[in-house]
């Protein structure tokens, strides 16, 4: 009689253990491109229930048992995970301890903010929360006390990584905060007697230097030219600012009429810096704006020799001679 009672308990236990073992270790065919998304605050019960409903695991109970068996019940990392074509519940838990799948957006120095937005919008691995936001709303969301309502120049060019499936706002936040960090560092260590009233003006100058520099060795001399012009009250007279002011009207060529047409960004018709940056400047451009060379150059012209180098001059006569030599080839 005792043996029968014992068997009545043991056999169901063995059957249940076998079923749990099968549910934990038997692979499941995972739907194509299926991803496990672990949100902040989600617990094991929620995740296992969702995976069972999606038929990615055999049993929510089996996943919870496997998690406790591996002491992983509180160790699931927030993020997005792509699963292989087949995986067991036991191995899935191991997979969730690894680094979540990430995606990268590259922000190129010298590009404009609209190029950054396009790169983010075209990334298929992000959740496009900001897709239909205006530039003003995006910037206001990032920083209600931003130095300008115009976002140009306020995002640092670099490569930014985010979890697959995360909000695109994370990329903008990272790039914005990085620029504030870089700019503040450069501003605090800037050379004395620069004609900038605040970090935003230095940022604006750096963006102009970025667009006007064809060779890295010329950066500090380019910055010196524009610093010297500001100090003596001479207009900057730089084509990239005119092009920026033209907007979509610019089709690859700049004409004399464009140089003469007044816009807030035309440094041929207006004195001083442009009202905002005209591009996303690199750290090297920021450093050049903060530490221009000591040269007394006022002019420069491309040498047109495929090196990207410029010829710098202190006087108009020297500059005219350089134009004849390098541009007119006389």
Decide if 34 contacts 54 (C-beta within 8 A): yes
Question: CB-based contacts of 149: which residues, under 8 Å, 6+ apart?
Answer: 136, 139, 140
* pLDDT for position 10: 54
Element of type H or E holding 35: strand 35-38
Q: Are 112 and 46 in contact (CB under 8 A)?
A: no
| pLDDT tens-digit series, residues 248-272 | 899 888 999 999 999 999 999 999 9
Select from 210, 204, 205 the least CA-distant residue to 154: 204
* Cβ atoms 236, 224 nearer than 8 A: no
Please list, in sequence order, all residues whose beta carbon lies within 8 angstroms of the beta carbon of residue 315, skipping any fewer than 6 positions away: 298, 299
Between CA 29 and CA 142 the distance in angstroms is: 42
Nearest to 225 by CA among 317, 303, 301: 301
Which residues have C-beta within 8 Å of that of residue 58, sequence separation ≥ 6?
A: 22, 23, 26, 28, 52, 89
Report the predicted TM-score, pTM, of the whole model to 2 decimal places. Answer: 0.80
pLDDT (tens digit per residue) in 148-196: 899 999 999 999 989 888 899 999 999 999 999 999 999 999 999 999 9
Q: Residues 48-106: pLDDT tens digits?
A: 888 888 888 888 888 888 788 888 777 677 777 888 888 888 887 887 887 777 889 99
Please name the residue ranges forming H helices in 75-164. 89-95, 113-121, 135-142
């Amino acid at each position: 009689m005792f043996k029968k009672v014992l068997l009545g308990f043991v056999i169901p236990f063995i059957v249940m253990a076998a079923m749990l073992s099968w549910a934990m270790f038997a692979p499941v065919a995972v739907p194509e491109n299926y991803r496990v998304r672990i949100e902040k605050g989600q617990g094991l019960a929620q995740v296992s229930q969702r995976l069972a409903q999606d038929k990615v695991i055999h049993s929510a109970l089996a996943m919870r048992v496997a998690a406790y068996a591996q002491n992983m019940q509180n160790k699931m990392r927030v993020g997005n995970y792509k699963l292989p074509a087949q995986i067991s519940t036991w191995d899935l838990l191991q997979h969730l301890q690894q680094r979540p799948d990430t995606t990268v957006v590259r922000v190129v120095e010298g590009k404009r903010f609209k190029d950054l937005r396009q790169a983010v919008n075209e990334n298929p691995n992000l959740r496009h929360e900001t897709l239909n936001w205006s530039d003003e709303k995006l910037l206001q969301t990032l920083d209600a006390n931003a130095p300008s309502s115009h976002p140009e120049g306020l995002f640092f060019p670099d490569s930014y990584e985010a979890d697959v499936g995360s909000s695109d706002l994370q990329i903008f936040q990272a790039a914005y905060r990085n620029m504030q960090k870089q700019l503040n560092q450069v501003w605090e260590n800037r050379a004395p007697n620069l004609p900038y009233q605040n970090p935003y003006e230095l940022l604006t100058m750096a963006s102009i230097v970025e667009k006007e520099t064809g060779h890295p060795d010329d950066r500090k001399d380019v910055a010196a030219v524009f610093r010297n012009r500001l100090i003596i009250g001479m207009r900057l007279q730089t084509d990239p600012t005119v092009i920026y002011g033209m907007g979509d009207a610019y089709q690859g060529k700049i004409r004399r009429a464009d140089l003469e047409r007044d816009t807030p960004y035309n440094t041929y018709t207006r004195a001083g810096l442009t009202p905002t940056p005209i591009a996303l400047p690199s750290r090297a451009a920021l450093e050049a704006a903060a530490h221009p060379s000591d040269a007394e150059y006022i002019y420069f012209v491309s040498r047109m020799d495929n090196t990207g180098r410029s010829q710098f001059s202190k006087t108009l006569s020297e500059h005219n001679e350089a134009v004849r030599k390098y541009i007119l080839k006389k």
